[in-house]
Structure 1
Amino acid sequence: PLKKIIIFLVIIILLPVIVFSIFEISSLNNTERVIQSVYTKQLDAILFSVNQLSEDITNGWINKTEQATFPELNKDSQDLKWLFDETPIFTIAYLDSIGDKKAEVIIKKDSLLVQQEYSEENLREDIRQLTINNFDVLKRLFVYKQNNYRKITPVKSNRYNDATVLFFLSADSANNKVYALYFNSEKFVMNILAPKLQEIAENEFVLSVFDKKQNKRIYSTERSDTVITRQQKNLWLIPEYSLGITLKGSSIEDVIQSRITFTFIIIAVLVVVLIAAGILLIRNINNEVKLAQIKADFLSNVSHELRTPLALISMFAETLEMDRVKTDEKKKEYYKIISQETARLSKIVNKILNFSKMEAGKIKYNFEQCNLNEILLDISNVYSFHLKNNGFTFSIEYAEEKLLLNADKESISEAIINLIDNAVKYSKEKKEVKIKTGVEKEVGFVQVQDFGIGISKEEQTKIFEKFYRVSTGNVHNTKGTGLGLALVKHIVAAHNGRIEINSQSGKGSTFKLLFPLINENIGVNNV
C-alpha cells in the first residue's frame, strides 16, 4: 500500500509540472522561430543594400583600372593616382591570360608597403597561387563575358590576412587580360561601408561587421562591445567578413531569453517545492506507517509480557485453591512464584505508566542528596539472588569515595534496574553481569556490562527511541516493551547527565550513566 501511495503522489506532483513545462517550452520555441524569421528577412534586405553599394563601388574601381592600363599601362594616369589615394586599393596586377605565369604588378607608393613582404616577387607568387587554387572559378569569368556580363569574383589573399583580391576580366572583347585588385578589407568597411550602415541603422538597429576567421568585431554602429549579435550573414565582397543585426537596447531576443530564464526558474522552484513537499509527505506517511507497526509490535510484546505472569499466577493460584498441593514446601514454592510474577507484572505496569507520564510531561522528580553507591547496594540486595538463581555471575565494584548526587533516588534506581534487566534478557551463552561505580573527570558514573548479543553501530543511535527494538540478530526471540531505554534516557536527561554506550554485535554491551556530583564545598559539578 505504501508503494502505491508513493507512486500516486509522484504522479500527482510531477504530471502538472511536466505538462506546464512542455507547454511553456513549446510556446517559447514558436516565438523564437518567429523572431528569427523576422530578423533574417530584415538582415537579407540590409545585406542586399550593402552588397549593391559594394558592387557599385567596385564597378567604379574596375572602370578606373582599365582606363589606367588599357591599351597600355600609364603609370602617370590620374585614374591610377585616384585609385591609390582615394580607395583602399594598394596593388593592381594583371595577367595576359589565366595561364600567364608572370603578372604585371603596380604597387602603391607607401612606406609601409615597400617592405619585403609586399615586394613584386611576393605579390606575383600570391597571384600565381590564387589562380591555381581558383582556376575553375576564374574560367567561369570567361563564360560570363561571352554572355556580355562582366562578373567580379572576390577571393581572400593567401599571403596577406588583411587583403581581399578582386578578379575580373577586361571589358574589351579582343582583350583577355585577367585583373587582380588588392584592397585592405578593414579599410573598405571603415571608410566605405560604415556611413551606409550608420544610415540604415538609425536609432533602430545595431549593425556590426565581424571577421569570422579572427573572431573579432571590425565595426559596429554602436560603440558598446557588450552588444550580442546572433543573426549574421556573409558579405559578398569580403567573404571572410559577416554582417550582423540586432535591435538597439533590449532586443526581442533578450526579452525572449529573459522570459525563458524566468520561466525555467519558476519551473525549477515549483519542481523543487513540489518534490520537497512530496518527500516530506512521503516521509511523514512512511514514519506514520512505521510508527503504526511499532505500536502494533509494542501491543503484541506488552500483551505477551502481561499474559505470561498472569497465566502463571492464575495457574498456581488455582492449584492452591483446589488444594491439590499436599506438602507445605511445595505450597511455599508456589506462593513464591506467584509473588515473583506479581512483582514482574507490577514492574511492567509501572514502566508503562511511567512512560505515559513521560510522554505527557507529568513525571515529577523528588531531588535530594543521595549516594550512588547506596542506591546500587539496595538494588544488589534485591536482585543478586534473582540473578544467581537464573544462572548469572553477578559482581559489583564500588567506588571508594562517596558518589553524592542531587537526584531522585527511585528514578535513578529504575534506570539502573532497566539496564540490568536488558543485560539479563539479551545474554545468551555467557551469563555474566558486571556493575561498577566510579568517578571520571569529577563526574560520577555507574556502569552495567553484559556479554550478550551486543548492538551494531548503526542501531546504537536509535535504541533510545520509544518503542524501538533492534531489528537484526535474534533480539526478537526475546520479548520486551521497547520502553526501557527511552525511560533511562529521560531520567538521565532530567538529572543533567549523559549516557555512553560501548557495544559490538556478538560481544556484549556496556552502558555507562554519568551524573554530576555534589561537591560539599563548591556545589554541583557539570557533566
Structure 2
Amino acid sequence: MKPKITWLVFISIIAFIALSGIQGYLIYNTYTLKSNAFIENTRSKILSIDYDQELDSIVDTWQEDLKNQIADYKNKRTTQKEMLDWLQQKADSLNKDYYRIYQEQLTGKKLGYSVNYKKNIVSVVIFDNTNDTIFPIGEKETFKLFGNDFPNSKANSVSVTRTFSQYDYIDQTKGDITTQHYNLEIKFKDLMYIEDKNNIVFKQMLGLLIGSLFLFLVMLGLFYYSLKSLITQKKLSTVKTDFINNITHELKTPLATLGIATKSLKNQQILNKPEALENSLAIIERQNERIQKLIDQVMTNSLTAEHLNLKLQSLEIISFLKQLSEDFRISVTDKQLSLEASFQQEPVYVAIDKFYFSTAILNVLDNAVKYSKGEVDISLSTSTDKGFFILKIKDQGIGIPKAAQHYLFDKFYRVSQGNLQSNQGLGLGLYYTQQIILAHGGVLKVESEKGKGSTFIIKIPMER
C-alpha cells in the first residue's frame, strides 16, 4: 500500500508542476502577443510621423550636403573618414530642429508613454565604374543621423528604407574638366526605444495576471489539501490497523486463559477438589477484571478535554506530588527504580481533580519505566513561572525521535521505530494525559532526543 501512495504523491506532484508550467507558458505567450501588439501599435503611429514635410526637408538638406561631399571625395579633396566626420557634424547641427519637430508630432499622437527615436544609416554606396562603399567602414556598423541616441540592442525596428538617386559631379582629377555620373544608394533604419514597455504591457495584463495568480493559489491550495488528506487518511488507516492489532493482542491472552479455566471446570477431578475449583474461579475472576479494565481504558482514554467532568479542589501540590511519587516508587517491583525528587520548599496551591491529575502523572511515569533499558532512572523537579506551576519528569530511557514528537499526543499513535515498538500498548496513554492537562487549563510538552531520554513538562495555572 505504501508504494502505491508514494507513486500517487509523485505523479500528483509531476502533474501539478506540469499544469503550472502550462499556465506559465500561456502567460508568457500572452505577454509576447501583447508586447508585439503594443510595439506594432507604437510603430504604426511613428511611421505616420516619418512622412512629415518639415522632417523630409531636413533630411533633403543633409543629402544635398552629402552630394557635395561626394564630389569633393571624388576629386580627392577630402578623405572618406573626413567626409563621414563632416556629415556627422552636419547631422548633429540639423538634429536639434529635427528632434524638436519630431517630438511635437509625437506629442500630438497622445501615446501616453515616452518613446525614444532615431534614424540610422546602414550603408552608403556609390555605383559607378568603381562601386565605392562609403559606409560602413572599419568597426563602425551604424551611423546615427537624427534622433536620440540609445543602444541598438534595446531598440525595436520601425522601418528600413532605401533611396536610390543619380547625381552628376565635375571631375577635375585628370586635368580636364568633365561631367561624371554616379548612382547613390543610402539605406536607412529607423529605430525606437520604449522605456517602460514591460511595465506598460504588464499593466495591460494586470487582470489576467491577478486571475492567473488566484487560480494558481486555488490550485496549490487544493493540491496541498488533497495530498494532506491523502496522507492523513493513510496515517489514520495505519493507526487504526495498529490499534486493532494491539487490542487483539491484549485480548488474546486473557481470553485464552479464560478458555482454559472454563474447560477445567468441566473436569470432575477439579470439581471434587475445593482448592483447585477455587483457584480456577480466581483465574476467571482476574482475567474478567483484566478484560474489563482494557475496555474501560479504551472507553475512558478516548475522551477529549471538553468531555472530562473534572471535580476541582484546591490542593497543596508539593505535598500531593511527594505522596504520589512515593506510592509509585513502591508500586514498581519488576525493575530497579531510582526516583529522585527535587521539589521546591514553599507550598504551591492549584485547583485540580485528584483522580484525573494523578492518572496523567502516573501515565508519564509508567512510560518512563516501560521505555527504559535496565535500571530506571527518573527525576522530578518543580518550579513556578508567571502564574504557572511547572512539573518536569525526566527519564534516561531510549528517547523519542524528532520526527515522532509532533504526533506523540495523537490518539492511537505509537512510535514505530527502534525498540519503542517492543512494548505493547494502545497508543492512548499520552493522548489521555494531554487531554487531562488541557482540561486543567495547562500545557503538556516533551523534550527528547533518541538514545538520551525524555523530559515531559506539565504546566498548570496556580490559584490566585
Letter of the 2:5 counterpart? L
Q: Give the aligned partner of residue 356 of structure 1.
A: 302
1:292 to 223, 226, 237: 237
* Matched ranges for 1:23-34 at <5 A: 26=29, 29=32
Question: Deviation digits for residues 149-190 of structure 1, max 9, x if unmatched?
Answer: xxxxxx642xxxxx525xxxxxxxxxxxxxxxxx43233123
1:261 and 1:189 map into 2 onto residues whose CA distance is 39
Letter of the 1:53 counterpart? S
Q: Judging changes above 3 Å, is the alpha-carbon distance between structure 1 residues 514 and 491 closer, same or farther for their aligned structure 2 residues? A: same
Letter of the 1:296 counterpart? T
Letter of the 1:164 counterpart? L
Question: Deviation digits for residues 58-106 of structure 1, max 9, x if unmatched?
Answer: 465579x79xxxxxxxxxxxxxxxxxxxxxxxxx9946843xxxx5xxx
1:191 to 47, 72, 97: 97
Q: Give the aligned partner of residue 301 of structure 1.
A: 246
1:427 to 362, 367, 372: 372
Q: Judging changes above 3 Å, is the alpha-carbon distance between structure 1 residues 458 and 17 closer, same or farther for their aligned structure 2 residues? A: closer
2:261 and 2:119 map into 1 onto residues whose CA distance is 107
Contact 1:306–1:345, Cα closer than 8 Å, also in 2: yes
Question: Deviation digits for residues 431-458 of structure 1, max 9, x if unmatched?
Answer: 3253646555586565544443222334
1:339 and 1:507 map into 2 onto residues whose CA distance is 41
Q: Give the aligned partner of residue 509 of structure 1.
A: 454
Letter of the 2:215 counterpart? L
Letter of the 2:231 counterpart? N
Contact 1:201–1:207, Cα closer than 8 Å, also in 2: no
1:18 and 1:426 map into 2 onto residues whose CA distance is 50
Return the offset for 1:291: 1.4
* Matched ranges for 1:487-498 at <5 A: 487-498=432-443
Return the offset for 1:484: 0.5
1:460 aligns with 2:399: no
1:347 and 1:24 map into 2 onto residues whose CA distance is 65
Q: Judging changes above 3 Å, is the alpha-carbon distance between structure 1 residues 164 and 443 closer, same or farther for their aligned structure 2 residues? A: same
Segment drifting more, 196-205 vs 260-269: 196-205
2:447 and 2:355 map into 1 onto residues whose CA distance is 26
2:335 to 379, 391, 410: 391
Return the offset for 1:407: 1.1
1:235 and 1:256 map into 2 onto residues whose CA distance is 29
Letter of the 1:57 counterpart? T
1:164 aligns with 2:124: no
Contact 1:47–1:235, Cα closer than 8 Å, also in 2: no
1:437 and 1:330 map into 2 onto residues whose CA distance is 50
SS in 2 for 1:467: coil
1:365 aligns with 2:310: yes
Segment drifting more, 326-335 vs 446-455: 326-335
Return the offset for 1:334: 6.9
SS in 2 for 1:369: strand
Return the offset for 1:331: 8.0
2:293 and 2:236 map into 1 onto residues whose CA distance is 25
Q: Give the aligned partner of residue 130 of structure 1.
A: 81
2:61 to 57, 68, 77: 57
1:293 and 1:25 map into 2 onto residues whose CA distance is 45
1:39 and 1:461 map into 2 onto residues whose CA distance is 60
Question: Deviation digits for residues 489-519 of structure 1, max 9, x if unmatched?
Answer: 12122223333544332343343434445xx
1:20 and 1:437 map into 2 onto residues whose CA distance is 59
Letter of the 2:456 counterpart? F
Q: Judging changes above 3 Å, is the alpha-carbon distance between structure 1 residues 96 and 456 closer, same or farther for their aligned structure 2 residues? A: closer
Return the offset for 1:34: 6.3
Return the TM-score normalized by structure 2.
Answer: 0.66
Return the offset for 1:480: 1.0
Q: Judging changes above 3 Å, is the alpha-carbon distance between structure 1 residues 332 and 410 closer, same or farther for their aligned structure 2 residues? A: farther
1:440 and 1:296 map into 2 onto residues whose CA distance is 42
Return the offset for 1:345: 3.7
Segment drifting more, 50-59 vs 508-517: 50-59
Q: Give the aligned partner of residue 354 of structure 2.
A: 409
SS in 2 for 1:191: helix
1:482 and 1:94 map into 2 onto residues whose CA distance is 104
2:460 and 2:107 map into 1 onto residues whose CA distance is 85
Q: How many residues end up aligned between the 2 structures?
A: 406
Q: Judging changes above 3 Å, is the alpha-carbon distance between structure 1 residues 259 and 16 closer, same or farther for their aligned structure 2 residues? A: farther
Contact 1:156–1:240, Cα closer than 8 Å, also in 2: no
SS in 2 for 1:513: strand
Q: Judging changes above 3 Å, is the alpha-carbon distance between structure 1 residues 507 and 201 closer, same or farther for their aligned structure 2 residues? A: closer
Q: Judging changes above 3 Å, is the alpha-carbon distance between structure 1 residues 243 and 444 closer, same or farther for their aligned structure 2 residues? A: closer
Contact 1:379–1:413, Cα closer than 8 Å, also in 2: no
Return the offset for 1:274: 0.7
SS in 1 for 2:87: strand
Unaligned runs of 5+ in 1: 67-91, 104-126, 132-154, 158-162, 166-182, 221-227, 518-523
Q: Judging changes above 3 Å, is the alpha-carbon distance between structure 1 residues 321 and 217 closer, same or farther for their aligned structure 2 residues? A: farther
Return the offset for 1:414: 1.0
Q: Give the aligned partner of residue 160 of structure 1.
A: none
Unaligned runs of 5+ in 2: 121-141, 164-185
2:260 and 2:325 map into 1 onto residues whose CA distance is 30
Q: Judging changes above 3 Å, is the alpha-carbon distance between structure 1 residues 512 and 286 closer, same or farther for their aligned structure 2 residues? A: closer
Q: Give the aligned partner of residue 128 of structure 2.
A: none
CA RMSD of aligned residues (A): 5.0
Segment drifting more, 324-333 vs 395-404: 324-333
1:479 and 1:267 map into 2 onto residues whose CA distance is 53
2:59 and 2:392 map into 1 onto residues whose CA distance is 101
1:281 to 226, 238, 254: 226
Q: Judging changes above 3 Å, is the alpha-carbon distance between structure 1 residues 339 and 417 closer, same or farther for their aligned structure 2 residues? A: farther
2:211 to 256, 266, 276: 266
* Matched ranges for 1:10-159 at <5 A: 26=29, 29=32, 47=50, 53-54=57-58, 56-58=60-62, 61=65, 94=72, 97-98=75-76, 103=77, 128=79, 130=81, 156-157=84-85
Return the offset for 1:364: 0.3
Question: Deviation digits for residues 247-266 of structure 1, max 9, x if unmatched?
Answer: 9xx99x98765444543443
1:468 and 1:483 map into 2 onto residues whose CA distance is 7
Q: Give the aligned partner of residue 182 of structure 2.
A: none
Q: Give the aligned partner of residue 5 of structure 2.
A: 2
* Matched ranges for 1:370-385 at <5 A: 370-372=315-317, 373-374=319-320, 377=323, 380-381=326-327
1:216 and 1:416 map into 2 onto residues whose CA distance is 91
